[in-house]
Amino acid sequence: MRTRTSATPRALTALLITAALGACSSPEKQLEQSDKKIEGLRATAQTIGQAWLKGEVSERYARAALQQTLQLLDKERATLTASPRLLLDPRGASVSRDAEHLSRVLAALIDDAHHGDDASARRHLADVAGSRGSP
């Protein structure tokens, strides 16, 4: 004989409402959170790059840390692009462009660290600092 476990309609409804409330927030709040996360990742990239150029961390460490930073940035970009509503907002479009640009610069910095190219890394770090889009 099979035992069947079923949630009551109330429990299921409560679960769905709780999940929806946790996932829902205003577009403005979502954009603000994404913007803060991206700025934090920008600062992280700057710190890692500067530490590598000063010889405080190895090239290998810098590459690994920058790759982790890029992965976190990619997750944040996915959050932005998952919502057309956010991308239609001018600020959302700006934050998305900013994140995309930062992704490319991080990829270049990873390559710089791989090849030990200090001069190129300095140029890319200047680009990280100056790449903030205007909302």
Number of domains the chain contains: 1
Query: What are the pLDDT digits (tens) for 1-35?
Result: 544 444 456 655 555 555 444 455 688 899 999 99
Q: How far apart are CA 26 and CA 7, in angstroms?
A: 30
Q: Which two tokens stand for residue 59?
A: 């090239």
Alpha helices in the chain (DSSP H): 9-23, 27-53, 59-81, 84-88, 90-115, 118-130
Residue 19 maps to a domain:
no
Query: What are the pLDDT digits (tens) for 30-83?
Result: 999 999 999 999 999 999 999 999 999 999 999 999 999 999 999 999 998 898
Residue 116 maps to a domain:
yes
Q: What domain range includes position 35?
A: 27-130
Q: How far apart are CA 13 and CA 123, in angstroms?
A: 54
Residue 70 maps to a domain:
yes
Residue 20 maps to a domain:
no
> Which residues contact residue 107 at a Cβ distance below 8 angstroms, ignoring those fewer than 6 apart?
70
Residue 86 maps to a domain:
yes
